[in-house]
Amino acid sequence: MSEIIRPGTRILITPGTATSANFSLSKSEILNVVTRAAEIGIEIVQIREKSLSARLLLELAAEAVELVSDSLTRIFVNERFDIAITAKAHGVQLTSSSVPVDRVRQLLPVEMIVGVSAHSADEVTEANANGADFAMLGPVFATPGKGDAMGLQNLAEICSAASPFPIVGVGGIDGTNESQILQSGAAGFAAIRYLNDFVKIEQ
């Protein structure tokens, strides 16, 4: 198992609401969350701001990396491995339709972690075979716009079949069910609203 994806790993995903029009405010809010996440020990923050230009995304990611430099929190960039490399991020999160992991690996620093978002057992198997460090699998629970929920039983079966390849559950996860994700064999969980709200409450 990757030394970054340890049992109980939490991945805070940014809300995805930053645009060029609101960038100054959004950047400030995201960096405040990153700072607090590092203070309370959130393992990974994934910068997932698809509406930003490459220039603005790089600015945000690079500042986030700098903020966590004295902590154990790691910064991942969603899909844009070029931005991740330039910002000196710790990892990149690819989608199932991204450039294949083995191709991306040829460009990345050897220490950079690669996660792949998956929605089925086959996609988990493919991610593992192609050299990903972990798969983010979901949606486990119902969540708007993310397709049918796979449920805990399917999650447990896929985690068992893929072991020791680490799987992180995602989709509809909150304080009422996060323990069930870990009990199903997942190495951790990822969340947008739950972990963003959690960080803000803990301030």
Answer yes or no: is pLDDT of 32 > 90.
Answer: yes
- pLDDT (0 to 100) of residue 1: 46
Question: What is the per-residue pLDDT across 93-119, written as a single tens digit (0 to 9) for each?
Answer: 999 888 899 999 999 999 999 999 999
Question: What is the per-residue pLDDT across 48-69, written as a single tens digit (0 to 9) for each?
Answer: 999 999 999 999 999 999 999 9
**pLDDT average, residue stretch 34-61:** 98
Number of H helices, E strands in the chain: 8, 8
Question: What is the per-residue pLDDT across 147-181, written as a single tens digit (0 to 9) for each?
Answer: 789 999 999 999 999 999 999 999 999 999 999 99
Amino acid code (one letter) for 82: D
DSSP 98: S
| SS3 of residue 163 by DSSP | coil
Helices (H), the chain: 23-40, 54-67, 81-86, 101-105, 121-129, 151-162, 178-183, 193-201
| SS3 of residue 165 by DSSP | coil
Please, are residues 18 and 55 in contact by the beta-carbon 8 Å criterion?
no
Question: What is the per-residue pLDDT across 179-201, written as a single tens digit (0 to 9) for each?
Answer: 999 999 999 999 999 999 999 88
Task: List own/partner pairs for 182-186 with CB under 8 A and 24 or more apart.
Answer: 182/7, 182/8, 184/152, 184/155, 184/156, 184/159, 185/155, 185/156, 185/159, 185/160, 186/137, 186/155, 186/159
DSSP 14: P
9-201 CATH fold: TIM Barrel (3.20.20)
- pLDDT (0 to 100) of residue 96: 81
Each domain of the chain, given as residue ranges in start order, spans: 9-201
